[in-house]
Amino acid sequence: MRTKLMAVVVGAVLGVTGAAFAQGTPTTPAAAPKAAPKAGKAAATATAGKTEVTWWGHAAFVVKTPGGAVIAIDPWFTNPKAPQGATWPEAVDAILVSHGHFDHVGEAKALAQKTNAKVFGSFELVTLLALPEAQSMVGNVGGTFQVKDATIHLVEAVHSSSYQADPKAPAQYSGASLGFVIEIANGPTLYHAGDTGAFQSMALIAEQFKPTVALLPIGGQFTMDPAQAAVAAKLLKVKTVVPMHYGTFPALTGTPDALTAAVKKARGTAKVLSLEPGKTTAL
């Protein structure tokens, strides 16, 4: 409800500005001096809008861009570390699902049904989710999609992927595991690695997309541990690493402190930004 009200207010403000500009242009002979403060105002608006990231524990994040795109990634909102009492985002544009394992698909289907969001992932996995065609954004490594001011690239991850829709039925092949690069206009370029080990082609991700913030798994056993994540951060050349996929279960033993120590030991320069589930951080 509040979001709708905000949209109305923003729309009204933009409408007024647009009307003023339309009226001012023909009646003002000196267009250039008028244009300067307008450009300044536009720039101020752009920098005022920040990209906000909320960690829901495990590999689940909700990203809000300055242009108003709401992107949920690996939305397992019922994981043991999820913020208590937090409510699902009401409006979601895109749901990115890295692979078919339950701790990444999570509540993707229910969230898509509730919000009408589009679901992005491998052709096989998104097909298995059996959503309406208009919501099924099937792709594979190399694919690029535009969601408002966010450009989303599907990239490689080194991990397995299968999907079990029914707990009594065998798991089904669900395509390649993916990572995501999200380039945000007037914002950072985020890289969500999904589940993966460190791999040499992270240097190619750095060369192609120049991510500034990497969301990296550090738990170990199924993914990188802190020492390997420190190597990954160097390959990616990112300024900031946000650790994820740790502490959810006893087996996922990596910690942000261990990552900080590993980055230092590897003589890396990335800053470790440890997020608290449910707390929104501006990037």
Contact positions toward Zn ion, by CB under 5 A? Answer: 101, 195
Smallest separation (angstroms) from Zn ion to the CB of 74 = 9
* CB proximity list for 42: less than 8 A, separation 6 or greater: none
- The residue (of 149 and 195) whose beta carbon lies closer to Zn ion is 195
Smallest separation (angstroms) from Zn ion to the CB of 135 = 23
How far apart are alpha carbons 173 and 216 in whole angstroms? Answer: 24
User: How many CA atoms are closer than 13 Å to the CA of 145, on its beta-carbon side?
Assistant: 22
- The residue (of 109 and 237) whose beta carbon lies closer to Zn ion is 109
Collapsing DSSP states into helix, strand and coil, what is residue 110? helix
Smallest separation (angstroms) from Zn ion to the CB of 196 = 9
Collapsing DSSP states into helix, strand and coil, what is residue 160? coil
Under 8 Å between Cβ of 145 and 120: yes
Smallest separation (angstroms) from Zn ion to the CB of 138 = 19
- Our CA dihedral for 191, 107, 178, 160, rounded to 10 degrees, sits at 130
Smallest separation (angstroms) from Zn ion to the CB of 104 = 6
- The residue (of 151 and 160) whose beta carbon lies closer to Zn ion is 160
Smallest separation (angstroms) from Zn ion to the CB of 142 = 21
- The residue (of 101 and 153) whose beta carbon lies closer to Zn ion is 101
Read off the DSSP letter of residue 234: H
How far apart are alpha carbons 266 and 235 in whole angstroms? Answer: 12
The CA-based angle 109-115-121, given to 5 degrees, is 45
- The residue (of 221 and 280) whose beta carbon lies closer to Zn ion is 221
CA 72 from chain centre, in angstroms, equals 6
- Comparing CA positions, the residue from 99, 72, 100 lying closest to residue 86 is 72
Smallest separation (angstroms) from Zn ion to the CB of 260 = 25
- The residue (of 156 and 195) whose beta carbon lies closer to Zn ion is 195
- Our CA dihedral for 170, 110, 149, 157, rounded to 10 degrees, sits at -20
- The residue (of 188 and 194) whose beta carbon lies closer to Zn ion is 194
